[in-house]
C-alpha cells in the first residue's frame, strides 16, 4: 500500500491522535450536546489533520502555508471548545491539561511547518 507524504508528518500523526481523543471525550458528553459542542469539537479536530493533509499536497508553498494556518486556526478552535467544556464540567482539569499539552505541541509543530514553507518561497 502506498504511503502519502502527509502520513509521514509527525504533526499530522499527532493531530490524528488528538482527533481520536476528542471523539472519545465527546462521546461522554451529555446527549443534549450531540448536535452542539460535541459535533463542533469533532469537526474542528478533524479539520486540523485534514488541512495538514491538504496543505502537504499543494505544490505552491504559499498554498501550503495557508492550509497550515487554517489547521492552526482549527486547533485554536478545539482549545477554546475544551476550555468551555472544562467550564461546563464535561471534563476534569487533569484531562484538560493532557489535551492542552498535546495542543501546545501540535501548535509549535504547525508554526514550524508554516514558517518552513514561507521561508522557501523567496529562495
| pLDDT tens-digit series, residues 25-83 | 999 999 999 899 999 999 999 999 999 999 999 999 999 999 999 999 999 999 999 99
Element (H, E) at 98: helix 93-119
- Which grid coordinates are listed for 52? 495538514
Please indicate, yes or no, if residue 109 is contained in any of the structural domains: yes
Cell of 22: 476528542
Residues 6+ apart with CB under 8 A from 78: 18, 22, 41, 44, 45, 48, 103
Asked, for residue 84, whether it belongs to a domain, the answer is yes
- The answer to whether position 42 is within a domain reads yes
Is 4 contained in some domain?
no
Domain span including residue 94: 10-119
pTM: 0.96
Q: Please report whether residue 5 resides in a domain.
A: no
Which residue carries 482527533 as its cell?
Answer: 19
For residue 42, how many other CB atoms are within 10 A of its CB? Answer: 18
What total of structural domains would you count in the chain?
Answer: 1
pLDDT band of 122, cuts 50, 70, 90:
confident
Judge whether 94 lies within some domain.
yes
CATH of the domain at 82: 1.20.1440.60
C-alpha cell at 107: 501548535
Q: How many other CB atoms are found less than 10 A from the CB of residue 106? A: 25
- pLDDT in the model for residue 123: 66
The reply to whether 18 falls in a domain is yes
Amino acid at each position: 500500500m502506498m504511503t502519502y507524504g502527509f502520513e509521514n508528518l509527525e504533526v499530522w500523526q499527532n493531530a490524528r491522535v488528538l482527533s481520536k481523543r476528542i471523539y472519545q471525550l465527546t462521546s461522554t458528553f451529555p446527549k443534549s450536546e450531540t448536535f452542539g459542542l460535541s459535533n463542533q469539537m469533532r469537526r474542528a479536530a478533524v479539520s486540523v489533520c485534514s488541512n495538514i493533509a491538504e496543505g502537504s499536497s499543494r505544490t505552491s508553498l504559499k498554498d501550503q502555508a495557508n492550509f497550515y494556518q487554517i489547521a492552526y486556526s482549527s486547533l485554536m478552535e478545539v482549545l477554546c471548545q475544551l476550555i468551555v467544556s472544562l467550564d461546563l464540567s464535561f471534563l476534569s482539569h487533569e484531562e484538560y491539561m493532557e489535551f492542552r499539552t498535546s495542543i501546545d505541541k501540535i501548535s509549535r509543530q504547525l508554526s514550524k511547518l508554516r514558517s518552513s514553507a514561507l521561508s522557501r518561497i523567496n529562495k
